[in-house]
Structure 1
Amino acid sequence: MEFQYVAFSVAIIILLGLLFSKLFKQVKLPGLLGMLILGIIIGPYGLNLIDKAILNISGDLRAIALIIILLRAGFGIHMDSLRKVGMSAIKMSFIPDVVEGLTVMFVSHYLLGLPIVEAGMLGFIIAAVSPAVIVPQMLSFIKRRMGTSKGIPLIILTGASVDDVVSITIFSIFLSIYGGQQVNYLMTVLSIPLQFIIGILFGLFIAVILIYLFKHFNIRNTEKTLIILASAIILKNLGDVLSSIVPIAALVGVMVIGFV
C-alpha cells in the first residue's frame, strides 16, 4: 500500500501545532511562538518532515490562513462599537505606520549609513504589522472584555487590518525609485484611499449576495461557512489579478464580508 506522505504531513502540522501551542500557553508564552518554533524544527531547514508538495503550496496556505483570520476580525466587529471608535481607528490605521516607517528610515540612513531609498524600503518593511498575530489577540481581549470600555482592542483590530495597505504602497514607491522606474508619487499616494474604497465596495457587494442567498435558500451552517470562505478567497485572488489595472485592498474587502 502506498504511503500518503502529503496527508501525513498535514496531520503532523495540525497535531504538533496544537500540541506546541498548548505547551507554550501552559508556561505563559504565546501559543503562536510554539507554532513558529515547530515550523523551524520540522521545516526544510530542520528535520525536513514536511512533504515538498505542501511546501510548494505554502504561500496559498498562508493566504487562506490570513483570510480566515480577517474574516474572524470582521465577525468580531459590531456596528455600535465601530461608530464609537471610528475616527480613532482611521488614525490608528496610518499614523503609527507612517511615523514608525519614517523613523526607521532616518535612523538607518544616518546611523547605519544606508542609502535613503534602501532605508525607506527597510523602514516600511519593519513598520508593517502582522494581522496574523494582532487579530487573534485582539479578539481574545474583546472576548475577555479587556479594554473594551474604551474600545482599545477594536481600534487596534481595525487599524491593523488596513495598516499593511499603507506600508505596501509606500514601500512600492521606494522600490520603484530603487529600480529606476518613473513613478507618479501623487497618484500612488492618492491610490491608498482609493484601494480602501474599492475593497470595501467589493466586500459589500459579495456580502449582500451572500446574505440574499442565505435568506432565500435553506443552507446548513457548515455550508455557509464554506461558501463565505470560498467567496473571500475569490475576492483575494480577484484583487491580485486586477492589481495592475485597478488598485483593490482585497484584504479589507475580506474583513468587510465578515463584518456585514
Structure 2
Amino acid sequence: MILSFIIILIIGFVFGYISNKIKLPSLIGMIIAGILIGPSILNLIDESMFKIAPYLRQIALIIILTRSGLSLRYKEIYKLGISAILICFIPAFFEIIGILIFGPILLKINHLEALLLGSVLAAVSPAIIVPRMIDLKEKGYGNNKNIPELVMAGASVDDIIVIVIFYTVLGIIKNNKIDFIGIINIPVSIILGVVIGIIIGLVLILIFKKIKNNTINVIILLIVSGVLVFLENKINAPINFSSLISIVTIGIFILARDQNLADNLENKYKKMWRVFEIILFVLVGLELKLSYVKTLNFMPILLLFIGLSFRTIGVFISLLLSKLNVREKLFVCFAYLPKATVQASIGAIALSENLNVGSLVLSIAILSILLTAPLGAILIDKTHDKLLVVE
C-alpha cells in the first residue's frame, strides 16, 4: 500500500504538472495518470488501495468544504441581494430537472436513477472556480458588481445542496422505496447542520484562542469534521443533520468572528489539498473501467450537454433581478460550467454501493470532468477581460 501511495503521488504530480503546462487543469492529467496506472492498463496499484479509497475521498471532500467555509464572506454575499440566494440552487435544480427528463429517454434508466445521476452532475467545481475568481478579484475584474464573490458563494452552497440531495436519493434507491421522511429531512438536515455548525464553531474559536498553534488547530478541526461525518452515518433517527453543512458553517462562523484565524487555517488546508487533490483525482482514474466506457455511445455526452443547457437557463433566471448586463451574465454562465471536485468525491459512491447504475454514474461523472473542466477553465481565462469591467 505504501508503494501504491508513492506511485499515485509521483505519477499524479508529474501528469498534473504536464497538464498545467499545456494550459489544461492539472486534474485532467491526474485522472489520466489514474487510468494509466490502474487496472485497465498497467495495473500498478495494490488492491488494498481500493478498499480505503472511500475514506480518502471523504477526507478530500471535508478539506474542500472546510476551505469553502473559511473563504465564504457572508457579509459580501448579503450585499448581492436575492440573486446571491437564487444562484445557490436554481442552476443546480434546473440541471437535475434536465437530467431527470432526458436521462430515462437517452440512457434507458429509471427516474430515480436519473435523479441520482443528476445530483452527481449538478455540482460545479470549487477546485476550478475558486482560484480563478480570487485571481480575478485581485486584478479588479467584476469587482464593481462583486461578480467573483457571487460566483464563489453560489458554487460553494450549490455543491452542499447537491450533495445532500445525492445522499437522500441514494438512501431511497438502497431501501427500494420512496422515503417521504427522507425527503422532508433535506431542509431539516440543512437547518440542523447550520445550528450544530454555529455551536461547534463558537466552541472551537474559544479553544483555538487558547492554543494559538495553527497546526494543532487544523488537526482539531479535521478531527471534529471527521467525527461529525461519522455521527451522521451512525445515527439511525428518521431526522438527521447534514455533517457537510455543519463543516461549511463552522468555517463561515470562524471567518465571521476571527478573519486572521480563518486565513491561517485556510492556508494550512490549502497545503493539505495539494496532496489530497492528487490522491482524489488519481483515484477517479483508477476506478474507471475502460472496458465499460467502450460500451457507451454518444448518448451520455448528449445528456451531459443537455444538462449544461438547462443549467445555463437556470443561471440567467437567477440573475434576472441582478444589476448585471448581458455580457456579465454570460460570464457567470461560463464560470458555472466546470465540474470536477464533487464528481470525483461522490461519483464512485454509487459503484461502491453496488447499484446497477453505479458504473454508468461513475463513467459519466468522469466524462463530465474531462469535458467541462478544461472547457470552463478556458472560457473563464479567455473571456473575463472581454466580458467584465476592471475596477
The percentage of counterpart residues that share the same residue type is 28
Q: How does 1:130-149 map to 2 (within 5 A)?
A: 134-144=125-135, 145=137, 147=142, 149=146
Q: Which residue of 2 aligns with 1:246?
A: 239
Does residue 256 in structure 1 map to residue 249 in structure 2? yes
Letter in 1 for 2:134: K
Letter in 2 for 1:142: M
- SS of residue in 2 equivalent to 1:57: helix
Q: How does 1:41-56 map to 2 (within 5 A)?
A: 41-56=36-51
Q: Deviations over 1:152-191 (max 9, x none)?
A: 2322222223222134435655x379x3x3x453x44332
Moved more, 218-227 or 70-79: 218-227
Q: Which residue of 1 aligns with 2:79?
A: 84
RMSD: 2.6
Does residue 227 in structure 1 map to residue 220 in structure 2? yes
Does residue 94 in structure 1 map to residue 75 in structure 2? no
Q: How does 1:26-41 map to 2 (within 5 A)?
A: 26-41=21-36
Contact 1:128 1:163 in 2 (8 A): yes
Q: Which residue of 2 aligns with 1:74?
A: 69
TM-score for both structures, normalised by structure 1: 0.82
Sort the Cα spacing of 1:230 and 1:102 in 2 relative to 1 into closer, same or farther, 3 A: same
Moved more, 85-94 or 160-169: 85-94
Bigger relative contact order, structure 1 or 2, given CA contacts below 8 A and separation 6+? 2
Deviation at 1:214, TM superposition (A): 1.1
Aligned mate of 2:188, from 184, 191, 194: 194
Sort the Cα spacing of 1:220 and 1:76 in 2 relative to 1 into closer, same or farther, 3 A: same
C-alpha separation between the residues in 1 aligned to 2:126 and 2:80?
Answer: 17
Contact 1:89 1:156 in 2 (8 A): no
Deviation at 1:229, TM superposition (A): 1.1
Letter in 2 for 1:67: I
Letter in 1 for 2:241: I
TM-score for both structures, normalised by structure 2: 0.57
Contact 1:97 1:128 in 2 (8 A): no
Q: How does 1:164-203 map to 2 (within 5 A)?
A: 164-170=163-169, 172-173=171-172, 175=173, 179=176, 181=177, 183=178, 185=180, 187-203=181-197
Letter in 1 for 2:98: T
C-alpha separation between the residues in 2 aligned to 1:141 and 1:206?
Answer: 31
Q: Which residue of 2 aligns with 1:3?
A: none
Q: Which residue of 2 aligns with 1:212?
A: 206
Letter in 2 for 1:134: S
C-alpha separation between the residues in 2 aligned to 1:86 and 1:92?
Answer: 11
| Structure 1, unaligned runs of 5 or more | 1-5
C-alpha separation between the residues in 2 aligned to 1:223 and 1:258?
Answer: 16
